[in-house]
């Protein structure tokens, strides 16, 4: 472990620094298994160590620790094919190995099992060991990860069996990598989901740059329309980002217009735009007319499949967004949030909608949202600021004059 003394006063801060550096300096294992075409099919990067209890010749037992993997080799790690499953095989020292194998099941892959073998005959690692030879602990894991997701777990996970404790942390792994590109979609372990909100400092001190949460990119803008017998009756152009809070964890999903279908219907007083895709059963936008001269977004209903297979459904028919006069369209280029419920929000980007009175398939003149009006707002703010400043200067000048005047009088 390396310690740097940054300040002359050693204290708890220094101890913490040593611990952090200790974690950084420990050895990260990394394997990138490629197929015959040199395309990555299996990728993993992780840290681990083991403690092993063993019997000694003196009828006692001792604990050995294995944490040095600088000599690790990965021979035997394979992509897998129809007959064999993918696996990662790590050798270190003589007679030590660690094997994890994966299976594919429908739209997910499983970390099937983990085997760890150690060599009690290695008397440098296991001094005074009573038994000799190779022992193996085999753990069935059966952990499911959606296909085309990289599993990440920075938090500590442990496996304990037969006196052997296996510690894992900073884990990144993806099997069945598609098209040779390791996914950027992360599937987090439960501990990471909670620890990022509880102790954010831990995740910032982890060494791997791939673990820092990337800011969600803007969703792609999609064009949606609904036709009736007279032609196009509803138009919508927008980038949509769904923000779902489930079990206290917010997940942000961008809608990809390329893989999203849309339908809908148009009535005189109400219009519906329904989107659906492989993971969205339906996402309904219901528009209504009010006071016979304006339209607005009245209702949003959603039902979608979450990563763990459960269904998330929310409906709210008492909304009031995207309000504009009938015969015009509503436009908002800035990011805007439609808050459907505490657990479901839609962030919209480059939005333009016209649910009624569409003529010849084209948008009518747009009513812009107030967020877009900063071109007018900025001069007003600057102007207000400037006139405020002038008033302050005038007052200061008057007070200053009075003071000096008063000063002369007392002399
Ligand atoms: C894995 O190896 C391939 C081929 O050498 C390389 O193109 C790819 O960038 C590597 N991936 C990672 C994540 O290191
Ligand atoms: C093994 O890992 C655990 C968990 O990160 C850590 O507390 C412990 O100090 C490590 N042991 C060694 C010898 O590195
Ligand atoms: C240690 O010895 C006891 C009995 O002598 C046995 O039950 C136990 O399995 C042994 N432990 C290991 C790790 O070999
Ligand atoms: C692993 O493969 C390398 C070369 O690919 C070889 O030098 C090494 O001896 C092998 N190690 C084991 C444990 O088989
Ligand atoms: C186990 O360790 C002993 C002593 O270091 C060594 O001679 C033996 O070859 C090792 N076993 C294996 C299978 O590597
Ligand atoms: C994974 O490997 C273990 C042995 O290490 C084996 O018993 C098990 O059958 C393997 N599972 C699969 C699905 O290949
Ligand atoms: C380990 O075993 C070898 C013989 O196999 C012996 O020469 C050596 O002294 C032993 N080392 C210890 C620390 O017991
Ligand atoms: C991989 O490539 C195929 C064909 O080029 C494409 O259909 C598929 O969506 C790609 N998968 C990923 C995860 O990029
Ligand atoms: C189609 O257009 C005609 C004439 O503008 C109108 O009377 C009729 O109600 C429209 N039909 C529908 C389904 O909107
Ligand atoms: C709607 O009608 C227009 C022509 O009026 C046509 O170009 C367009 O493809 C139709 N859209 C759908 C979704 O049927
Ligand atoms: C998602 O919703 C949560 C909870 O309402 C909020 O804290 C978070 O900022 C939202 N994220 C985005 C990208 O809108
Ligand atoms: C959607 O398709 C367009 C053109 O085919 C492509 O440029 C774009 O990258 C695709 N977007 C996504 C998110 O796949």
Give the side-chain half-sphere CA count within 13 A for 156: 9
Output the six-digit token pair for 357.
């009175």
Give percent above pLDDT 90 in the chain: 64
Q: Are 36 and 47 in contact (CB under 8 A)?
A: no
Report, as an integer, the average pLDDT of 4-24: 36
| pLDDT per residue as tens digits for the range 64-112 | 999 999 999 999 999 998 889 999 999 998 999 999 999 998 899 999 9
For the segment 208-216, the average pLDDT, to the nearest whole number, is: 41
- Kindly give the pairing relationship between strand 249-254 and strand 186-188: unpaired
Contact 18, 53 (CB under 8 A): no
Give the model's confidence band at 396: pLDDT under 50 very low, under 70 low, under 90 confident, else very high: low
Q: Is the pLDDT of residue 29 over 50?
A: yes
Find out whether the beta carbon of 245 lies less than 6 Å from any atom of ligand 11. Answer: yes
In the chain, % helix, strand, coil (3-state, to 5) comes to 20, 50, 35
* Least trusted range by pLDDT, from 53-62, 322-331, 375-384: 375-384
Comparison of pLDDT for 264 and 3, the residue scoring more: 264
Average pLDDT for the chain:
83
Measured in Å, residue 230 CA sits from the centre of ligand 10 at 10
Q: Quick one: average pLDDT of 226-252?
A: 92
Instruction: Point out the ligand nearest to the CA of residue 122.
Output: 5
Most confident of 195-199, 302-306, 371-375, 395-399: 302-306
Q: Quick check: CB of 210 below 6 Å from ligand 1?
A: no
- Residue 179's alpha-carbon distances to 36, 42, 182, 188, 189, in angstroms, are 13, 11, 8, 22, 25
CA distance 386 to 229: 57
Residue in the structure block whose two tokens are 């099937």: 112
Mean pLDDT for the stretch of residues 384-404: 61
**Is residue 95 within 6 Å of ligand 5 at its C-beta?**
yes
372 compared with 192, residue with greater pLDDT? 192
Cα distances from 361 to residues 178, 228, 233, 262, in angstroms, run 40, 11, 7, 16
Q: What is d(CA 374, CA 360) in angstroms, rounded to the nearest whole number?
A: 32
- Cα 168 from Cα 190, distance rounded (Å): 14
Q: Can you read off the two tokens belonging to residue 170?
A: 């900073």
Check whether 260 has a pLDDT greater than 60.
yes
Report the distance separating Cα 94 and Cα 121, nearest Å: 10
Per-residue pLDDT at 212: 33
| Rounded Cα gap, residues 152 and 168, in angstroms | 11
Residue-level pLDDT at 196: 45
Starting from the CA of residue 261, give the closest ligand: 10
Strands in 87-92's sheet, in edge-to-edge order, are 87-92, 96-105, 108-119, 134-146
Cβ(178) to ligand 8 under 6 A? yes
* Residue 242 contacts residue 204 (beta carbons within 8 Å): no
* pLDDT at position 343 over 90: yes
Q: Is the CB of 354 under 6 A from ligand 8?
A: no
The C-alpha atoms of residue 288 and residue 297 are separated, in whole angstroms, by 7
**Is there a contact between 103 and 109 (Cβ–Cβ < 8 Å)?**
yes
pLDDT tens string 100-155: 999 998 899 999 999 999 999 999 999 999 999 999 999 998 899 999 999 999 98
Ligand 7 binding pocket includes 127 (Cβ within 6 Å): yes
Atom 8, ligand 11: which residue's CA is nearest? 250
Q: Is the CB of 330 under 6 A from ligand 1?
A: no
- Rounded Cα distance between 376 and 349, Å, is 21
Cβ atoms < 10 Å from Cβ of 274: 18
Of all ligands present, the nearest one to the C-alpha of 260 is 12
% pLDDT > 70, the chain: 78
Residue 402, classed as helix, strand or coil, is helix
Higher-pLDDT residue of 309, 208: 309
Cβ of 365: how many Cβ atoms within 10 Å?
A: 11
Q: Give 123-132 pLDDT, tens digit per residue.
A: 999 999 999 9
pLDDT value of residue 19: 35
In testing the pocket of ligand 8, which one of 37, 178, 183, 278 has its CB within 8 Å of the most ligand atoms? Answer: 178
The Cα 244–Cα 313 span in angstroms is 10
Confidence at 12, pLDDT banded by 50, 70, 90? very low
Count the Cβ atoms, other than its own, within 10 Å of residue 55.
16
Query: What does the pLDDT read at residue 401?
Result: 61
Whether pLDDT at 299 is above 90: yes
Regarding the beta carbon of 112 and ligand 6, being less than 6 Å apart is answered: yes
The string of DSSP codes covering 193-261 is HHHHHH-HHHHHH-S-GGGSPPPPPPPPEEEEEEEETTEEEEEEEEEEEEEEEETTEEEEEE--GGG-E
| All structural domains of the chain | 2-193 (2.40.160.110), 221-368 (2.40.160.110)
How much distance in Å is there from the Cα of 38 to the middle of ligand 4?
19
What is the total residue count of the chain?
411
Question: Are residues 91 and 69 in contact, defined by beta-carbon separation less than 8 angstroms?
Answer: no
- Helices within 174-284 (DSSP H only): 190-198, 200-205
């Amino acid at each position: 472990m390396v310690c740097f003394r940054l300040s002359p006063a050693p204290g708890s801060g220094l101890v913490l620094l040593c611990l952090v550096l200790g974690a950084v300096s420990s050895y990260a294992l990394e394997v990138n298994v490629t197929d015959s075409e040199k395309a990555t099919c299996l990728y993993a990067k992780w840290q681990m160590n083991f403690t092993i209890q063993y019997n000694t010749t003196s009828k006692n037992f001792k604990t050995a620790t294995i944490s040095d993997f600088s000599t690790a080799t990965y021979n035997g790690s394979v992509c897998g094919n129809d007959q064999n499953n993918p696996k990662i095989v790590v050798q270190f020292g003589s007679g030590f190995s660690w094997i994890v194998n994966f299976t594919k099941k429908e739209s997910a892959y499983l970390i099937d099992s983990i085997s760890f073998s150690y060599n009690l005959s290695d008397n440098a690692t296991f001094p005074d060991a009573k038994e000799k030879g190779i022992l193996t602990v085999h753990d069935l894991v059966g952990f499911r990860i959606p296909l085309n997701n990289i599993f990440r777990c920075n938090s500590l996970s442990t496996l304990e069996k037969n006196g052997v404790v296996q510690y894992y942390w900073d884990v990144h792994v993806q099997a069945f990598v598609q098209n040779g590109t390791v996914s950027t979609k992360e599937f987090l372990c439960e501990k990471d989901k909670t620890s990022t909100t509880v102790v954010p400092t831990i995740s910032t001190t982890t060494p791997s740059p791939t673990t820092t949460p990337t800011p969600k990119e803007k969703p792609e803008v999609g064009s949606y329309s609904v036709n009736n017998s007279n032609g196009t009756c509803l138009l919508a152009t927008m980038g949509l980002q769904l923000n779902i809070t489930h079990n206290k964890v917010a997940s942000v999903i961008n809608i990809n217009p390329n893989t999203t279908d849309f339908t809908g219907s148009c009535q005189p007083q109400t219009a519906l735009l329904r989107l659906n895709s492989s993971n969205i059963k339906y996402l309904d936008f219901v528009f209504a007319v009010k006071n016979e001269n304006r339209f607005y977004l009245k209702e949003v209903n959603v039902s979608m499949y979450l990563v763990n297979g459960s269904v998330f459904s929310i409906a709210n028919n008492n909304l009031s967004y995207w309000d504009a006069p009938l015969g015009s369209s509503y436009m908002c280029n800035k990011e805007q949030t439609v808050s459907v419920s505490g657990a479901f929000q839609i962030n919209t980007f480059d939005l333009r909608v016209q649910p009624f009175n569409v003529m010849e398939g084209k948008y009518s003149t747009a009513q812009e949202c107030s967020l877009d009006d900063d071109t007018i707002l900025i001069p007003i703010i600057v102007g207000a600021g400037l006139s405020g400043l002038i008033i302050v200067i005038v007052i200061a000048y008057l007070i200053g004059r009075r003071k000096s005047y008063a000063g002369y009088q007392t002399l």
